[in-house]
Every structure is written in C-alpha cells, then in structure tokens.
Structure 1
C-alpha cells in the first residue's frame, strides 16, 4: 500500500477549519485536523506547498517514521504552523491504520482504559443569576463538571462569557473569535478581575454545594505573583483546576505560583511540543496537561507526553473547544480512552453546520464521551457540504489596558 494523493480542504461552516485527506492506492482514506485559529491559511499553504509532495508514494503504515521525517527533515522545527501540519498527517495515517485493521484507533493505542471520558462544560454569565442558570443548563445537558467564567464590573467585554455581546455583535461558533478584517480590541483590568472572581466562586459554592467540580480559566492574563495570589484566594472553593493562570511560555513562572498555592493547575493549550511542557511535568509544577492533538503534532506525540506525565502523576485535560475540529477532537478522545492517566476532557459542541460537514460517530451519554467503535477515528468529511462554505477572515480579540498598553490575551 502507498499514498497516492493528499488533499487540503478549507471550509468555514460558522468557523474556519483546515482538513487533510490522504488516499491510498487501495482506496482507503484518512483525515486529519490542521486548524490553527486565526492563522488557518498559513497551515493550509504549508501543507499544500511543503508537506503533500513529500507524502506521495510513502507507506501509510509507517506513522512514526513519517512523523520523524516531517519533524526533523525540515530543519526549522516546532511552532504552531509546523506542528498543526504534522498533526494532520499523523491523524490521517492513524485513521487509515484503524480502517485497515478494522479497529477504532484507541484499540491500536492499547485498548480502552475506561468506559468513556468524563467531561466538563462551559458556564458563564454577566451576574450570579445568569451564571447559576448557565450551570444548571450545562448540568441538564449531562455535564458533571463545569468551567465558570464571569463578567467583571468595569471590563466591557470578557473572554468566555457567552451572554456578553461581542464587539461585532455576532458570536462565532460559541467563542469570541469574529469574522472581520481586523481583530477586535477589548479592555482589561487585572486588579478588578482578581477582586471579583473569588466572590463569584463563593456564590457558586453556596448555591451548588461542595460536590460539583468547578474549573476556571485565567487565560494567561496574570503575572506569576498575581496568579499565585488568585490561586490562594480560590483555595476555599476547592476548584478542580485553575487553567492558564500566567503566560505559558515562561515555565519558570509556574515555580513561583506553586510556591504560594495548592490550587491544582492546568496548562498547555498553546504548547506545540514536549519541550514546552517537560519541566512543568517533571518538576510537578502542574497537575493537568491541556495540550491539543491538533497543535501538538497529532496522536503520536500526545500519547507519548501523557506516558511521560504518568510517571509524575500528572493527568490529561486536553483542550477541546470549537477551534479543534471534530477530527482533532476525535483524535484526542482516542488518546484519552487509551491512557491510564486520563483526567478530564473539555467538550464544547460544534455548530449544526459543522456537524453536517464532519460526519461523526461519537456519543455523549451520562456525562461520558466515547469516540465510537467505528474503525479509524470515526469521523468523515462531506466534501460536497464543505465546498458550500468559503474561508472568511476571522480573528480572536486582543486586550489593551486603560493606558493603551497591549496586554496578554
């Protein structure tokens, strides 16, 4: 068997996605996710111009060799564009291998370690009543753990608050990215945020009791000492984790945070390789790995990093919002099914249009996700449907402080 073609598909059913479809001489196809939020065309070009020509006539079964070839032969390693492109190839090859074997990918990774993947949903609001209503809605949909985000008095628009109007006045597939020629500018005040958030969790705990697992995303906006202070102030409310409390590229920052709070920490959604997170794992500075299959090079390296993390009792918390396509999401579900040190899976359902483009077999029942026992990844792309939706410029917003300084987002 050999690869005879590889096609890059860009589609935008309520948001932009980049998909690689690989076909073999025996007619077996596999798909992989290469979506990079706000920089999708960079990866599409990288694939079309630099990766696809290298795949023709390669044996699709040699997944590890192909991964190492694409990573090492280009000389310029790492980075989100490179790793998203490699991820798409890796996923597609695992998809093919599963179809040839007649097995779901998680069986090829060692088999199921659980019945399904525990998930958390996203609740938010402009005040406590909206937050309470949002939490109840998520529980009614089957979520057994909830991420809580809140508006903050004095901040006009804040990431993660679904009820809050976006700058464009229109939501973009359940996240703050917007279709526009330029990214939207938003405001930020760290001190106001840090004063307000503990009171939100106090109210939520008083309303819902001590048993409900609660999470919160700081979205890289705090300095290390600010993150430490927030983590300490949230300890009475027993969070399952505090996510992205400070910019993730500075691994030393987490040492300072760890010195001052016992709050469990999760990080890694913007990481691209093991080199971004290995010290955080080996020094036990975090508790949950947030890396996403699409941005971390695919199934192969994600499984490896979790095997490494298992030695330090660090668990998975894979990134799973709508900027990971159904293909990428399925890929990390298969990893989550197989590894022993699974923790919790973020799950944000895609739009109806997206689900018409990407035909899926996964299930979500009794709070547990399952990728299905369909051979391969369990996702196919309807190319005719995908062609209906042309690429459209879309960007995440960015922040400025009161004095005009650009701040972390």
Structure 2
C-alpha cells in the first residue's frame, strides 16, 4: 500500500505526502526550496472574496481583483486576491507548514496535493446572493467542485485511504458576509421584506448546516469556521453615513448569524461522530483591533487604502489606481477588505490565539488532534 501511495505522488495527482515514521506529519516544499514539516496533509478552502485567490479571474464577473494595485505587495503581483498581499488563509497555510493553496480554477494534478481553494468573490451561502456581480461560485457549487476534486483523486488512491487522509485535513469555511452585503442589504433584493434579522439568520444557518453536513459526508472531519466581523465598520458602510460612524444597525444585524453559527457548531459536534471544529471569532478580533489599533501598529481605521469617495469606500479600488504608501498602517485595503497586515495578524491569532478569539481549539491545536 505504501509503494502505491508514493507511486501516486510521482504520478503528480496526489495532494498528500505521509511518512510512516512521522504520524500526524507530512512535508511541504518551502518557498526557499527547503522542506519543512506540515501539521496536516492538506487544506481545503471555501468562502468569498475575503479568501478568494483567483477563482473569479476567468468568469464573466464584476467581482475581480486580478489587476494592480491588488497584489502590489504579493510576490508575483495580482492573482485575484482582494488584498494588497496575503489573505488570512495564506497566513494559516504557511503556519500549518503548507505551501500557498492554489485556486480551483488553476489546480490540477500535482498542484492539488496540498489542497485547493474554492472561494469565490460575491459568493454566499444562498445561491441567489451576489447576482449583482453576475457570475460567482456559490457555496453549493464550491462543494460540487470539491466533489470533482475527490473524483480525480479517489480513483487512483482508493476510497478507504482517501477517507483516512481527508479526516486529517483542514476544511476552512468563511461564508455569510455577502448574504448580508450583497443580498439582504441590497435594495434590489426582496429578502428584507421576507425576513426580519433573526428570521434571516435562522434561514441562513439552516442552509449552512446542510452544507457543512455535506462536506462531512464527503470525508471532512476538521473544520475551521470563520464568523462575521464588524461589517458596519467597513469603508463601504462608513461611506453611507454622513457622520462617518460605524453602522450599529448593520453590526447588530449580523449578531444573530454569529450566535446561530456557534449553536450550529455545538449541534454538529453532538450529531456527527468524529467531527472537530474551530470557530474564529472575527467579530471579537475586529472589535479588539479597532479599539486598540495603535498598539497593533495601525493608525488609519476608517477608510480604505485604495478607493474613491467618502472614506475611500464609495467606489472600490480601480485598475492602476495609486494606493496609500503606508499600507501597513491601514486596517482596510479597499471598500470591503482588510489589508495584508490585518490578514496576517488575524491568521496568526486564529492559528495560535486564545479562546477569546478562536475556540474550542485554535487551528494549531485542531491540526494536532
């Protein structure tokens, strides 16, 4: 079996390297060509523009970031990441000892051996979310794309061995932001007339539960779930206020979603044998960051580094626009997304932080279970 396992690697379609004498560890190729120990075989990523790294590039979509100044601080330039550099999952991948995870749109064969990123800008839990941006890949389709990945791998590795390896992988899911920003809060959606805030959160998490259960049934056992942050404080929302203050209405709107998500996780832990979850409390992370920005090295918390209009949030970052020079001092990169500096900070907190920001395990602890 070990011989066929490594033959499979050499055929460039295996995404996992497992050494018999290092239980719980595999090896990843470092950026400098060296090899370092990885805590998990692979990471599979599902989400929206906060962690998309290029899946929308070739779609007929208005939600794209494959142009400068996006990626201005990323080695290789613009990739489709909605950041000046790293996203949170890039940081987490490196801390796990993995290389940066490729987008599904580009991953094939050997490129899939350490995982795949299925995230898509404008995507939501609901299929209808984000239609203003034309094409996007909703969470349901992202799960289908993961099934396609499994089909490519299982035939050669075998179902039993694949199930064993998947149980050790990290499944990172960050969904829900667009279900508010690009659905419930949009005037051309009727959602707000159909549901009040609590009803909408109940509906979303009902769907979310079914989707995560599908991933479990496909072999996922270690989940990292990112909650929603202080969306009422992003430049796009700030720009709609004459006072420039955070929208408490928006911040309160998402509270039931985060509450429901935590309750969902507890229920899934009870109902699904062998499952483990880490919940990233992005709300608490952002609250702490905005309250203590200077202690973290940030001086600009209320406008984008790249954008146009009030709070640089009325029109998001345009092609070849000149961004702020001191990007590491800004919390927000554009109208909607944090800077690389914040993504690295949050990625580190999610990986090795305390229970005030990630629980019941941080990602390091989850990986070692």
Task: Specify if TM > 0.5.
Answer: no
Higher strand share: 1
Greater helix proportion: 2
Q: What is the TM-score when the length of structure 2 is the normalising length? A: 0.30
Considering Cα pairs closer than 8 Å and 6+ residues apart, tell me whether 1 or 2 has the greater RCO.
Answer: 1
